Structure 1
Amino acid sequence: MKKHSLIQTIKILILVFLVTSLITSCKKDNDNGSSGAPVITRVRTVSKDSTFKNITTRITLDSSTIADKVKQVAFDSTVTSGRLNGLYAIMGENLGSTTQVLFNGVSAYFNPALVTENSIIITIPTNAPWGSGQPNKLTVVTRNGQFNFDFVIQQPAASITSFTPVAGGAGETVTITGTNFNGVTAVTFDNTPATIIGTPSATQIQVRVPNGIVQAFIYVTTPGGTTRSVGSFGFRYLVYDDALAKGWWVGGWNGGDKPNFSNTSPVKRGTNSIAVTYLGGYAGFQIGNGGGTISLSDKSAVKLSIYGGPGTDGRLVRVMVMGPDKDGKQAITDNEGVVVTLKAGQWTDLTIPLSSFGTRPVILEQLRIQELSGISSPETIYIDDIGFI
């Protein structure tokens, strides 16, 4: 009886040993990673045209199922730098037991299903530090050690959050506020370069408004690329861009009362300009505000561009901004205004201070452009980008 019990006990111990060995073996087989230290050989971008293939491995243990691993099957080129929030593949050896991936010391999330012995698919975290003073290191930590790899985080594109003032004349200072202005190389108003004043910071740039700017988007160029402002620099109040502002009426005399607001050539900016053909001497182009009170108290000048048609070289026109002054009286009379000499075949950009119109108007009622040369034959001028700054 005792001998039988001993034999049974030995069998049970052998069975326990075998089961324990099997479990240990299974655990080792299911642990990602080898016993070697990790090595990174390169980093590759993940092609936007690459595809993912679902590979399902089913291991049944007591009716439970472990499944669904994803394998990356297409890659792009090898890189030594990367952008924030960019998707990359870390290539190497002994990566299967990875516990942490860091970019310049900042931990990045990774999906264990996208980790193999030879690759890790990972996204660079948006808070990874970049720029001078950084170690420029990609670090992979596994159960068997860690590996540091030279890798640079690229400067992100600049972001323009605001600029002030929102309008101004040539030579005036504009302060641009935003982020990631490090290493700014250029600021332009549309395609016109602006002079940078002083030393820009990472969050602020000061520039001078270039000559000839009526309305334009602001572009900032840094090592991270070129960024455009959401809103455009230009007028505090716009009268005519490619169309006359809503609520304005059209008057005029001796041909000036029939302007074409949809003229397509010549055009200063955009797609349309105003063509005004004067049929007689001292004719006038006249538009007026009928859409409500427009205050000029926060505006300093009127801006517009005039193009002289054939035969107009040296001709004179008078620009008049009409409305009441602070005492409620008409600021200028019919014979007052600012006289401008036309240039045939080219645009003349005008920025006329409101103080030039005699008593300064504080409410905008009318804008007139009157021919002063007393011509007897029809002549045409073109007007574009009318507004107040």
Structure 2
Amino acid sequence: MKNIKIVMLTACIALMLSLMFFSSCSNDDSSGGSGAAPVIESVIRTGYDENKVIFPIDPVTIGIPKNYYIIHGKGLLSTQKVYFNDYDTYFRPTYVTDTDIVIMIDGNTPYADSSNKIKLVTKNGTVLYDFIIAPPLPIINWFNAMNGAEGDQITIMGNYFIAPIVTLAKTETLPEVPVTIVSSTMNEIVIKIPENANYRSISVTNASGTATSASAIGSSIYDDKFYAAYSQGGWGIDNVNLVNTTASEVAQGAKAIKYDISAWSGLQLDFSAGIPVPAGAVGLRFQMKASTPGAIGMIINQGNWPSPVPFSLNGKYAEYVVKWADLGLAAAPASITSIVFFNNATASTQYVDDIGFKF
């Protein structure tokens, strides 16, 4: 709550400073108050960036929904309506002077196949102003297959992929690398994997900014299939389906693991040859849910039976991360030879997907 209050206070201060600045700097503070037709001269973004630095007071031609902007001009005091792409947008009358309107672009403002105009209606007339609404930030839900090799095509699923640019994400030691796009729609991008992509995340950029995948290429242990020789065992389990294709029971891709499990039982996955742990991995990740909320524990390499790492499951998939320190390890193990999902006192149907290494 403290952080939320700080953000709200910071935003209010930024808005009021911007409003006072433009009001005081106007060349004609009285030109519109007596009945002059409205004029829009510029639009400026207001507030702070991710580094808490106030945005420069420079005109912009593209607006990002859910951000504040100052419409600067003349004859604005009697404003009755403001439209972005013909979408009626709320504004606070207390944030209006004759030269400036501080307004937040609504998150529901259309951004495709639209007028690309601000329409401002006052008692003394209407004015149109060229202004583009950018789409929301990209959202990456998942990509598949995660362990593709150089030249393979993989599919990124998400939203707001408008004129996307795809790269291997920048790391602390490596620059971003352009990625070839084979095809794209609003919700899906097909790319071709470049060379040296293993253990690199994927970034998608649109006009509003960049999103980076939570997982990395080549980091998967199970992603529609196991990427290593395995055997499945355990106790108190039934109806095991390692390639369940029911869409509502899959976290990403097309398949997931599904099984019925009794109280105080476990699903065990053994990897006879061992799966080498890549350099830089901080632990393991997986997505999981259960038909009945309950608690589980995770064990790897048969090494932490006395204290399995605990998690709480519910009816929705969530990503869980087990770091090496959580397992009582001072450093990463050389390989993964087994994973056990140990169920506590509640019998349920459980679903596991997207098992891999976390970087």
Q: TM-score, normalised by structure 2?
A: 0.49
Higher share of residues assigned strand: 2
Q: TM-score, normalised by structure 1?
A: 0.46
